[in-house]
């Protein structure tokens, strides 16, 4: 008698798990921070108007495979307290096809953390859902008060920010190579608990005040059960329009937009936000009824442009530093106009056309054979120079969108929401080795990833034109 065995269940893709998680996170955050829903509606209105009024932009996004992702695109941010928490979050995000990319040291800007971004790295996965989580690890060694530092370490050592079931499902994914649909649904629900807001502090009001006095972000990380998501950011196609229209929706934006100025050819990342919520919390105490408030979670919007090469980033950093060193924007935003004007003036030194950026090796681009090029390749010899191919319309290029973050901008957003008057200088600087040791992995070099995508696209385009093996050095 033959025996029948149940067929093994198929695993769902990491892209699907990531999309399920992004939607669940968005629903949770909308319930916790009502203004987030207002922000999403505003961004959707602005984006729809941009696409309707700018057919060239719509066509460029469509050709790059980016049009469908705009509405689902989000980035979140969390702050962790221990090496163990960082190690496990890497494993959790791996279930969703997200890897650590880039190392960011925010201590140089007075914020006692260092960070990475967990995100997909494959172009196809990015176009399905480019969910990113800017993940920071508190640098306890930067707390000058040894007693307070030891107390913070002891508090953090006691907490468990992941549910036992979430950890079990992470282990199952690692052992089996994937999760079934049912397991993926359960994983999303369990993982979401790590990011949920808890209105009960794990410390006394007195301890909270001492942590807060050391730095508001230290109090935010140490005083709660877990690393509540502190913002969830949609992508807009016109951040200046969003900034101008936020007051119409009852939202007060920060004084200036972080990052580069408004340009015809967008570069890197521009970000703005609205002030953090003041939320009621209950402190631990003998009667368990001590009430107070905590300010940490806020709304943020971003506009993404082309990824810059190392040469382009060096120029960007130099121009930005020259402005920030001379024009300071106060908490009241009295000098916001002066800052914006000076920023725009200084950035005239950075070309504002796609072809100039490409020719000067300042930005990364995706190459593709055009229909005219493919037709010409079938009937005649094509020029053996990529620049000549571009000039004849046989080879097209489009900007590769910047998928990562800017440390100065991140610090500016943090400071504007944690108190613009709180400036701190830390003697200790970058400690990438310690961060990667805690992570249990090496963070990927974002510039290398962009360079690989550019080179692969050019190689594929030339192969489509029957020019495989053409030297690539003539195109930046």
pLDDT on residue 476 = 44
Check: CB of residue 342 under 8 Å from CB of residue 327: yes
Q: What beta strand segments (E) does 252-370 contain?
A: 269-274, 278-283, 290-295, 299-304, 365-369
Task: Give the mean pLDDT of the chain.
Answer: 86
- Give CA torsion, residues 242, 243, 245, 251, to 10 deg: 110
Which range is most confident: 51-55, 146-150, 308-312?
Answer: 308-312
For residues 285 and 291, what is the distance between their CA atoms, to the nearest angstrom? 10
For residues 319 and 316, what is the distance between their CA atoms, to the nearest angstrom? 5
Does pLDDT of 289 surpass 70? Answer: no
Does pLDDT of 104 surpass 50? Answer: yes
Check: CB of residue 70 under 8 Å from CB of residue 47: yes
- Where is pLDDT greater, at 295 or 130? 130
pLDDT digits (tens, 9 = 90+) for 422-451: 445 555 566 899 999 999 999 999 999 999
* Contacts within 8 Å (CB) and 24+ apart, 177-181: 177/11, 178/11, 178/12, 179/11, 179/12, 179/17, 179/95, 180/9, 180/10, 180/11, 180/12, 181/9, 181/12
With pLDDT > 70 as the criterion, what percentage of the chain qualifies? 87
Name residue, tokens 């960011």. Answer: 104
pLDDT digits (tens, 9 = 90+) for 450-475: 999 999 999 999 999 988 766 654 44
For residues 210 and 214, what is the distance between their CA atoms, to the nearest angstrom? 6
For residues 205 and 224, what is the distance between their CA atoms, to the nearest angstrom? 12
Q: Which two tokens stand for residue 97?
A: 């096809």
Report pTM.
0.88
For residues 26 and 71, what is the distance between their CA atoms, to the nearest angstrom? 12
Give the C-alpha distances (Å, rounded to integers) separating 385 from 67, 121, 124, 367, 463. 31, 30, 29, 14, 14
Give the C-alpha distances (Å, rounded to integers) separating 157 from 153, 190, 207, 225. 6, 21, 16, 11
CA neighbor of 142 nearest in space, from 430, 432, 443: 430
Query: Measured on CA atoms in the order 404, 408, 411, 416, is the torsion positive or negative?
Result: negative
For the chain, helix, strand, coil in percent to 5 are 50, 15, 35
5 pLDDT tier (thresholds 50, 70, 90): very low
Q: Which two tokens stand for residue 153?
A: 């370490």
- Where is pLDDT greater, at 381 or 119? 119
How many Cβ atoms from other residues are within 10 Å of residue 205's Cβ?
Answer: 15
> Helices 371-379 and 446-464: crossing angle, nearest 10°?
40
From 181-185, 199-203, 331-335, 410-414, the region with the lowest mean pLDDT? 331-335
Check: CB of residue 253 under 8 Å from CB of residue 273: yes
For residues 450 and 454, what is the distance between their CA atoms, to the nearest angstrom? 6
Q: Distance from first CA to last CA of the chain, Å, rounded?
A: 68
Does pLDDT of 320 surpass 80? Answer: yes
For residues 62 and 79, what is the distance between their CA atoms, to the nearest angstrom? 35
Q: What is the DSSP string of 2-61?
A: ----PPPPPPPPHHHHHHHHHHHHHHHHHHH-HHHHHHHHHHHHHHHHHHHH-HHHHHHH
Name residue, tokens 């807009």. Answer: 236
Q: Which two tokens stand for residue 201?
A: 């502090």
């Amino acid at each position: 008698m033959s025996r029948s065995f149940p067929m093994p269940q198929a695993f769902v893709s990491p892209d699907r798990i990531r999309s399920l998680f992004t939607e669940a996170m968005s629903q949770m955050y909308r319930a916790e921070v009502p203004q987030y829903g207002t922000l999403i509606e505003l961004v959707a209105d602005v984006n729809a108007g941009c696409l309707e009024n700018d057919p060239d932009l719509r066509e460029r996004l469509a050709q790059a495979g980016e049009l469908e992702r705009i509405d689902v695109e989000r980035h979140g941010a969390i702050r962790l307290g221990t090496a163990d928490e960082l190690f496990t979050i890497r494993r959790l995000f791996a279930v969703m096809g997200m890897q650590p990319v880039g190392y960011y040291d925010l201590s140089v800007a007075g914020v006692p953390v260092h960070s990475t971004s967990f995100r997909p790295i494959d172009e196809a996965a990015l176009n399905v859902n480019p969910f990113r989580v800017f993940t920071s690890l508190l640098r306890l060694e930067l707390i000058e008060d040894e007693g307070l530092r030891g107390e913070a370490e002891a508090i953090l050592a006691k907490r468990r920010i992941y549910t036992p079931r979430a950890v079990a499902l992470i282990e199952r994914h690692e052992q089996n190579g994937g999760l079934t649909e049912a397991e993926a649904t359960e994983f999303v629900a369990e993982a979401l608990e790590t990011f949920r807001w808890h209105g009960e502090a794990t410390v006394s009001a007195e301890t909270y005040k001492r942590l807060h006095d050391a730095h508001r972000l230290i109090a935010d990380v140490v005083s709660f059960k877990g690393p509540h998501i502190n913002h969830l950011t949609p992508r807009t196609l016109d951040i200046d329009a969003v900034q101008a229209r936020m007051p119409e929706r009852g939202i007060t934006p920060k004084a200036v937009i972080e990052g580069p100025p408004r340009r015809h050819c967008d570069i890197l990342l521009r970000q703005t936000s609205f002030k953090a919520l003041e939320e009621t919390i209950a402190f631990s105490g003998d009667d368990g009824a001590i009430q107070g408030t905590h300010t940490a979670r806020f709304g943020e919007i971003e506009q993404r442009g082309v990824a810059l090469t190392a040469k382009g980033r060096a120029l960007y950093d130099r121009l930005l530093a020259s402005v920030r060193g001379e024009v300071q924007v106060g908490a009241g935003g009295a000098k916001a106009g002066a800052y914006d004007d000076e920023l725009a003036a200084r950035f005239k030194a950075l070309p504002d056309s796609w072809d100039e950026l490409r020719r000067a090796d300042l930005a990364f681009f995706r190459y593709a054979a055009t229909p005219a090029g493919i037709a010409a390749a079938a009937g005649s010899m094509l020029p053996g120079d990529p620049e000549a191919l571009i000039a004849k319309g046989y080879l097209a290029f489009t900007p590769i969108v910047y998928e990562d973050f800017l440390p100065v901008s991140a610090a500016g957003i943090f400071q504007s929401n944690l108190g613009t008057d709180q400036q701190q200088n830390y003697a200790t600087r970058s400690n990438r080795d310690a961060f990667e040791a805690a992570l249990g992995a090496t963070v990927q070099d974002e510039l290398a990833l962009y360079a690989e995508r550019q080179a692969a696209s050019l190689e594929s385009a030339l192969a489509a034109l029957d020019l495989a093996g053409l030297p690539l050095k003539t195109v930046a």
